[in-house]
Structure 1
């Protein structure tokens, strides 16, 4: 089994950050030793902090809490802390008694379409639930959709609009392997109870962050 633990490291800004320790070596250092890519040393762990967008933070937290297999954002640009900048995903699968990190890779931007993401929220009627129809009026939305002032709706319902865009566009985009520049095979296998304990601690760090 691959060993995993948490470690507190002192940053250049003279405060402490939490990092993952893999086989007694900091996560970024492990990745650097495998890829020789120095830029990986500069990225931030996305699992222990609040991102610029609360909905992007919630998205990652939900993936971790629900133990979802797939490509999950792991490292992120420390300056922007959002999905619009550099994102490194890890391909994860859950077994009955273990968790496997198969490989890591950069999310490529060339296939990304903001226009498609923009229409993946409320504008995508195929994702509507019964409550949406009741709340916003079937007659108004389905018979007069061309006249909808979408910007006005988003200004009132932006939290939900952004959540839907993330789950309906970013999530499928991250999980389409053609959108990932895979860097290295890992095949790290972690003991599930130990791994769950680490995730619980990381989730609590985010939930206790007052910012």
Structure 2
């Protein structure tokens, strides 16, 4: 089983909104974006930030993340987990996870790049 924790991290640049620190996720001691970038290189994953770290551009997107990040017992959701820090929305690079709550554990079954061609919030 993997160990997941949060820790304060710093951007390598100063984002437009001025904040230089954010709450990031580490899996087994490695930042989540770096871990996924090694698994899936050349997909613009490195430098993405957790969707739970900042207020997203729209309230609808924020509600989607908080509702899907911890699904109801015995359900599976597709949740945006990493986003581009430039705009903090679902339109740019977006990494999603299939999250399953089996009542006794939370599993991230699959992780991938959202390649939706249309931008519709549901």
Q: TM-score, normalised by structure 1?
A: 0.49
Q: How does 1:132-147 map to 2 (within 5 A)?
A: none
**Deviation at 1:38?**
6.1
- Pairing 1:164-179 to 2, within 5 Å after superposition: 166=121, 170=122
2:87 match: 80
Deviation by residue 1:2-58 (Cα, 9 ceiling, x = unmatched): 111111112232732111110111101111121223621121211221111122112
Residue segments in structure 2 that go unaligned for 5+ positions in a row: none
**1:54 is the counterpart of 2:56:** no
Alignment of 1:107-186 (within 5 A): 107-110=114-117, 112=118, 166=121, 170=122
- Partner SS for 2:38: helix
Equivalent residue, structure 1, for 2:6: 6
Higher alpha-carbon Rg = 1
Following superposition, the deviation at residue 71 of structure 1 comes to 1.1
**Total equivalences in the alignment:** 115
* 1:20-35 superposed matches below 5 A: 20-35=25-40
Choose between structure 1 and 2 for higher RCO, CA contacts under 8 A separated by at least 6 residues.
Answer: 1
Offset of residue 66 of structure 1: 4.6
Distance 1:95 1:66, change over 3 A: closer
Structure 2 CA distance for aligned equivalents of residues 33 and 86 of structure 1: 16
RMSD in angstroms over aligned alpha carbons? 2.1
Task: Report the Cα distance in structure 2 between the residues aligned to 1:16 and 1:76, rounded to whole angstroms.
Answer: 16
Question: Following TM superposition, where does structure 1 have runs of at least 4 consecutive aligned residues deviating by more than 6 angstroms?
Answer: none
Extract unaligned runs of 5+ from structure 1: 118-165, 171-211
Question: Partners of 2:41 and 2:102 in 1: how far apart?
Answer: 30
Change (3 A) 1:84 1:23: same
Q: Of 99, 102, 107, which aligns to 1:100?
A: 107
